[in-house]
Structure 1
Amino acid sequence: MFAKLYRRLTEPFRRSIRNKLILTMVVLSVLPIIAVTALAAENNRRSMENEVIDTNLSNMKWTGIYLGEQFAGLNNLIYTLLISPDLSDYMAQSEEASLSSRFAAQRNMIDTMTSVYYSGNNNVVGLQLYLTERNKLFTINAMQSDLETPAQVPSLYADLFAQQKNFMIQTKSGDREKFLLIRSFNRFENREVLGGISLEVRWTMLDQTLSLLNPSGEDTVLIAKPDGSILYQPYGEAPPASIMEAVNRSGNDQGRIRMQHEYVFYTTIDPVGLKLIKIIPTSFINRSAQATMYYGVIVGAISVMVALLIAVALAWRTSRPIVALAKSLQGLSVIKETEAPHSGRIDEIGLLETRLNSMSQRIREHIKTEYSMSLEKKTAELKALQAQINPHFLQNTLQLIGSMLFAKNPADSYEIVKSLSDMFRYVIREPEDLATVRSEVDHLNNYMLIQKQRFSTRLRYNIEVGERTSTARIPKLTLQPIVENAFFHGLEAKPGDWQLDVAIVRDGENVRISVRDNGIGMDAGRLAELRKGLDAEIGQVWTHGNRIGLHNVASRIRMQFGQAYGVTVDSEPGKGTLVTFIIPAATGGELEA
């Protein structure tokens, strides 16, 4: 199927030099433009990609610095409380101090924490202070200002103390819009843990800074812990685990990672050690370059169209004299006295026209002396061939007629005489190159009638003529010589009964004729030698000996119809021989319906 489609597509270019030249010119002119346009579009995309990468790396760096300053501001609130004299006074109070003195210290501590709480603007929504020695928990927020003695160390500070960390950031349980900044404070002399402070802060305090990383509104921006767990994600969808794993594996403070469908940028937020991550889909970069690519494609398409028109015009103009010369040669006959018209050109085409006319004149002169003589000789050979009758067969037939005159009734003898007369009339009348299958079958029936009379019940034969085959044209004296060879080479040496079958059937646009006998057959070596001879005897129209040979029939069929036609032979020792040949169903301008 693909081979047939390929032949159909390439047929116009194989038949016309003009089409080949047009295709070549189009390819040579269009392909460079397409290549340049594609390279320009790709270079533009790469430039846009590099610009996006450099811009985002710079933005990530400065945004990380801004976020670090905001987290530093929260730490400053905590340090303000830690260096407060009220915290030192409260922790210095002993159990023996008077009740009024302890109450005043607590009151001062709550006032200081309240002041720190309100200094955090609206972003700080809660402040806690836990003292381990006294097991006291101060809580300041919009709803309460309280001091309590918990039954055990609060879980926030228990985790911090257990992990021996100085600070910890985590989201508030049940509320993803806030986070807790928890910091421990220790005794200076021996690093003994004295307690912990926690700030409850809204994540929205970072939104204005994070919005600098998402101007298009399509990117993913998030803050994650060092272990990869996401703390806050104001923009985009949750990234797949593979991206977070790739960031963790990088081990760098800042950088980028090229994933299959995304660009991942990351940086570390000092001083809290969190990861700031931005994810940009690759489609964003492609869309960013689309506008430039669009105009590049338009310019490239216009250039291609212009180049195509110029290429076609140049190819048409260049090939016009060649096509004109080819058309003039179609009317040039080497037999008739005709000449191709001269274009009057003085270039290579004009020289070619002059040489071709001179060559055609010399060919015509050669034909008059050589071809005509060869044709007359060939016609004489065919006429002599048609007039040839096997003398052995004629002698046997005359002896048969003589014996029948004494042993048979006159009607039987007359039938044999009539068949022999019809055979003579068929071969000696004005010869033609081709005869109809019907005429050849009639001639074969006359021959088989004589042979049937000679061999009586020992011979059985069958001639089958299919529909739409009788008017097909075939070289004269083809069927009867093949059948005669079957008798001479196959049947006469075989004891017992003889069987001979002739089948003429339609095979598509051809007619297939087969002659089968049950004679002695031939071995593989002799069969191979015969087949080789049939292929080699191209153009031989004469025969050897006193009968028309199989080589002669094969040569005449090929001479008449071409090398695609001929004779094939199949044979097995002791089983007989099958001779098959194919001729066109339509010859001489007629096709039997």
Structure 2
Amino acid sequence: MKRFFLLLSEPFRRSIRNKLMLAMIMLAVLPVITVSALAAEKSRQSMEDEVIETNLSTIKWTGIYLGEQFSRLNSLIYSILLNEHLSENIMETENDSLSSQFTAQRNITDMFSSVLNSANTNVISAELYVRDSGKLFRFSSDGSEIRSPEEIPVPYKELFDEKQYFMIRNDPGKPGQFEFTRSVNRFENRQAVGGVTLGVRWTYLDQTLALLNTAPNQTVLLADKNGRILYKQGSVTPTLDAGNLINLPRDQPGYVHTRNAYIFYSSVDPSGLMLVKIIPANAINHSARSTMNYGFIVGSSSIVVAIIIAVYIAYRMSRPIVMLARSMQGLGPIVGDVEPVDIQLSGRIDEIGWLETHFVNMTGRIREHIKTEYNMKLEKKTAELKALQAQINPHFLQNTLQMVGSMIYDKKPKEVYKIIKSLSSMFRYVIREPEDMCSLRIEIGHLQHYMQIQKERYGSRLAYTLIADEELLECRIPKLTLQPIVENSFFHGLDTKLGDWRIDVEVRLESGEIVIRVRDNGVGISAVRLEEIRKELADRRGLQTKGSRIGLYNVVLRIRMHFGERYGIEVEQASGGGTVVTVRIPYVQEGRDEP
């Protein structure tokens, strides 16, 4: 068995194209088969629900109409019993006078003939049995008779013994007819004194039973309370016995689903009969078969199309891999420091296995090339950064030198020296500091020198505050982080603003991070421009500058390069006007490793 399985799977183990074709065919065919099967079952279920709902409604109304027909028969019997001369004529039949007997019999005959003529043509006979006298009066289209049977006739004896008011049973001697018998009771004590029987053809009910739309393979039954089948429509022999029919609920219409049939039932009031319709289970499947056949044709066509598409897609997708594998088979191992390998990492023997083998052989040398290239680019970027850090805004330098020249005439030498010292410290910080990282104390010192020059330049018009926790001053921060931000505040926010200027710098520890906020009361930033700045700061394009200045983009890049993507700069509008620039860096003290 194992050898047979290996032999069968060999074409798929050695070719990724065959694997992909098989996988694509399975992915394409299985959903189609599943959907087709579900659609067929859904169609059959819908047909079943429709048949059940339709037959429940139909058998309910058919039972109601049958009840109305039996009520009319009951009313016909009442019309006989309520005749005011019936009792007198029955008593006269006991008179010794032959003339009186003849007259009484003729009156009774005329009364029953009148009733039969006014009734439905399917009512073909009527009987009156008087218990006290033991006489039986029978009337039909064939004639009439009066006789005195030795025993109580069967329907009346069963009626009297079971103390029933009415009874429906088949006429034993006349197939196709039934007897509708009702007891005649004395008003005072409800004691049965006789009975009336109507002989009715079953065709009397056929028009109503036709509402059930009985198909050739279906059956309609009428059964009495004892489960005996009184009338049947349909050529199929029912599989129900008296026990099954007795156990059917009589309180409301319903149905029972057996393995072979659907049985719908409804009671017929006030006759006490049970109306039953039997539909074979295969009839519903046969009704849904045409729909299922169409679904099978569509599903089969879809499967064929899916297989063709799957094979085509698999072929197109695997073609580059197969071609690449064949090309790499001609490549020998790279000669050099990397040892060639002749194994498949995943144990595969197809084109992917070939690619793995040759890829491992090439990886070492490629890694060496990448490392060399990376070091070259890193050195280039470092040189560019150092050159950029060495630049000072020429406009700022020119203004500062002009301010120093004017101070020589107006200020004391001590004040002039103080400004020159600040400018010198700024140059020394930018040019002589070899490291890209420094303590926050040194960075703030550089910012203080810059602000001292600006305050001397703008005088009382410029207000500047710095708030920083002492314990945070030894934390590490990239050089030239704060001064470019403050410079942007002058250039973009305060330069065009009339009135007093204000810059506030605040350094705090929030949630384990150092947060530096630079706030100005300048002209602010429009919503459109603010959105552009935020998108540019979120970009990963690398080092960018604004002219010859070290811009926000450079600051963001260096913060992310040292601390990761979660840190950087946020720009927002300040409440009451102006701009707030927030710098977030981790809490890393001087001398400790970066996070």
Amino acid at match of 2:77: I
Indicate the SS of the match to 1:241: coil
Aligned position for 2:110: 111
Matches within 5 A, 1:54-133: 54-93=53-92, 98-133=97-132
Please, which moves more after superposition, 229-238 or 47-56?
A: 229-238
Shift of the alpha carbon at 1:10? 3.0
**Residues 185 and 192, structure 2, Cα contact 8 Å, conserved in 1:** yes
CA–CA separation in structure 2 for the residues paired with 1:50 and 1:240? 23
Question: CA offsets per residue over residues 140-182 of structure 1, 9 Å max, x none?
Answer: 1232211112222212211111111111111121433111111
**Residues 125 and 141, structure 2, Cα contact 8 Å, conserved in 1:** yes
**Residues 333 and 361, structure 2, Cα contact 8 Å, conserved in 1:** no
**Residues 169 and 179, structure 1, Cα contact 8 Å, conserved in 2:** yes
**Residues 135 and 149, structure 2, Cα contact 8 Å, conserved in 1:** yes
Indicate the SS of the match to 2:85: helix
Indicate the SS of the match to 2:244: helix
Aligned position for 1:138: 137
CA–CA separation in structure 1 for the residues paired with 2:164 and 2:48? 41
Question: CA offsets per residue over residues 237-293 of structure 1, 9 Å max, x none?
Answer: 222236951661545442100101211100001110100000111211112222322
Matches within 5 A, 1:507-518: none
> How many pairs align?
350
Shift of the alpha carbon at 1:323? 2.4
Indicate the SS of the match to 1:188: coil
CA–CA separation in structure 2 for the residues paired with 1:333 and 1:281? 75
**Residues 226 and 246, structure 2, Cα contact 8 Å, conserved in 1:** no
Amino acid at match of 2:258: M
Aligned position for 1:223: 222
Matches within 5 A, 1:298-447: 298-328=297-327, 355=359, 358=362
Amino acid at match of 2:280: P
Indicate the SS of the match to 2:88: helix
CA–CA separation in structure 2 for the residues paired with 1:294 and 1:188? 68
Please, which moves more after superposition, 38-47 or 88-97?
A: 88-97
CA–CA separation in structure 1 for the residues paired with 2:279 and 2:266? 15
**Residues 37 and 297, structure 1, Cα contact 8 Å, conserved in 2:** yes
Shift of the alpha carbon at 1:38? 1.9
Aligned position for 1:21: 20
CA RMSD, 1 decimal: 3.2
Indicate the SS of the match to 1:314: helix
Indicate the SS of the match to 1:84: coil
Shift of the alpha carbon at 1:298? 2.5
Indicate the SS of the match to 1:85: coil
Shift of the alpha carbon at 1:7? 4.3
In structure 2, stretches of 5+ residues that fail to align are: 335-351, 367-595
CA–CA separation in structure 1 for the residues paired with 2:4 and 2:52? 48
Shift of the alpha carbon at 1:352? 6.8
Shift of the alpha carbon at 1:191? 1.3
**Residues 165 and 182, structure 2, Cα contact 8 Å, conserved in 1:** yes
TM-score of the aligned structures, taking structure 1 as reference length: 0.54
CA–CA separation in structure 1 for the residues paired with 2:95 and 2:358? 136
Aligned position for 1:259: 258
CA–CA separation in structure 1 for the residues paired with 2:272 and 2:7? 70
Question: CA offsets per residue over residues 23-42 of structure 1, 9 Å max, x none?
Answer: 11111222222222222222
CA–CA separation in structure 1 for the residues paired with 2:7 and 2:175? 68
Aligned position for 1:285: 284
**Residues 227 and 248, structure 1, Cα contact 8 Å, conserved in 2:** no
Question: CA offsets per residue over residues 496-523 of structure 1, 9 Å max, x none?
Answer: xxxxxxxxxxxxxxxxxxxxxxxxxxxx
Indicate the SS of the match to 1:233: strand
Indicate the SS of the match to 1:137: strand
Amino acid at match of 2:161: A
Matches within 5 A, 1:200-239: 200-239=199-238
CA–CA separation in structure 2 for the residues paired with 1:145 and 1:162? 28
Shift of the alpha carbon at 1:138? 0.7
**Quick one: structure 1 residues 10 and 207, their matched pair in 2 at CA, closer, same or farther if it must change by over 3 Å?**
farther
**Residues 223 and 274, structure 1, Cα contact 8 Å, conserved in 2:** yes
**Residues 133 and 194, structure 1, Cα contact 8 Å, conserved in 2:** yes
